[in-house]
């Protein structure tokens, strides 16, 4: 579980929140399936002759990064480094 779920909490409040988030596990598993099915990572832009290819590549990179961040957030088994 990422620490953002518990940020700013301590003691009993932190444990209570941890229990609440863990109770969302089934919903997060369903959400993961929906995201994997409907929101595929964007492919790299390989046609460098297209005008503004670099902007398209930046957009794909940002989309993929956000998708990855969301998947990590809802993966309650994921450990932060």
Q: How far is CA 18 from CA 28, 37, 70, 75, 79, in A?
A: 14, 28, 18, 14, 14
pLDDT by 10s per residue, the chain, length 81: 899 999 999 999 999 999 999 999 999 999 999 999 999 999 998 899 999 999 999 999 999 999 999 999 999 986 765
Closest CA relative to residue 36, chosen from 70, 2, 79: 70
Give the per-residue pLDDT at 80: 64
């Amino acid at each position: 579980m990422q620490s953002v779920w518990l940020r700013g909490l301590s003691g009993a409040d932190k444990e209570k929140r941890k229990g609440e988030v863990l109770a969302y596990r089934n919903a997060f598993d369903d959400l993961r399936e929906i995201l994997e099915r409907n929101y595929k990572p964007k492919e790299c832009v390989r046609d460098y002759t297209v005008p503004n290819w670099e902007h398209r590549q930046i957009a794909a990179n940002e989309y993929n990064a956000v998708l990855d961040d969301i998947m990590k957030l809802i993966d309650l088994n994921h450990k932060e480094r």
